[in-house]
Amino acid sequence: MYGWQDSYSVGVQAFDKAHQRLFVYFNDFYSALRDGRSQDQVATILEQTYAYTNQHFESEERWLAQKNDPDLAAHKEQHRKFQEQIEKLIAENKAGKIGLSSSISKVLREWLSGHIMQTDRKYAARYHLKSK
Ligand SMILES: [Fe+2]
Ligand SMILES: [Fe+2]
């Protein structure tokens, strides 16, 4: 299992919680593929993941906009690319072309930890938020 670590903290409790939950979703997705769950079950997990991801990105972007964050446009672009990746997975699953061999959930988790460490933690530093 690949999860959230204290070093990922961005100093905003609500966002840390959201990031933790995203790891849970990605792990669920991974398990579903590994266990060969049905297309419908995988679709449900992916749709939940997508909805939750969108919700988190929206609240993060709203918060950054309130702060007039100078990197907001670039940050949004990263979020958008990630949303596209999930949309692609949803389409692949619908077409019955999804498999563990793509090891895509690993890519998602790595993207998430990379994004948190390199992009989200920048705002933690910028606004002097105390991370764990
Ligand atoms: Fe972000
Ligand atoms: Fe985030």
Contact 26, 115 (CB under 8 A): no
pLDDT tens for each residue of 57-112 = 999 999 999 999 999 999 999 999 999 989 989 999 999 988 766 556 667 777 88
Write out pLDDT tens, residues 43-59.
999 999 999 999 999 99
Distance 6 CA to ligand 1 centre (A): 17
Residues with CB under 5 Å of ion ligand 2 are: 60, 120
Nearest by Cα to 71 from 60, 85, 86, 83: 60
Residue 86: burial class (beta carbons within 10 Å; 0-12, 13-18, 19+): buried
What distance in angstroms lies between residue 82's CA and the mean position of ligand 2's atoms? 11
Ligand in nearest proximity to the CA of 22: 2
How much is the pTM? 0.90
The amino acid sitting at 86 is: I
What local confidence, expressed as pLDDT, does residue 102 receive? Answer: 56
Maximum Cα–Cα distance across the chain: 46
- Positive/negative CA dihedral, 60, 61, 65, 66: negative
Please, what CATH class does the domain formed by 6-126 belong to? Answer: mainly alpha
Give distance in angstroms: CA of 88 to centre of ligand 2. 20
**HEC per residue, 3-23:** CCCHHHCCCCHHHHHHHHHHH
Residues 45, 29 contacting (CB under 8 angstroms): yes
Q: How far is the CA of 122 from the centre of ligand 2 (A)?
A: 11
Cα of 118 to ligand 1 centre, how many Å? 9
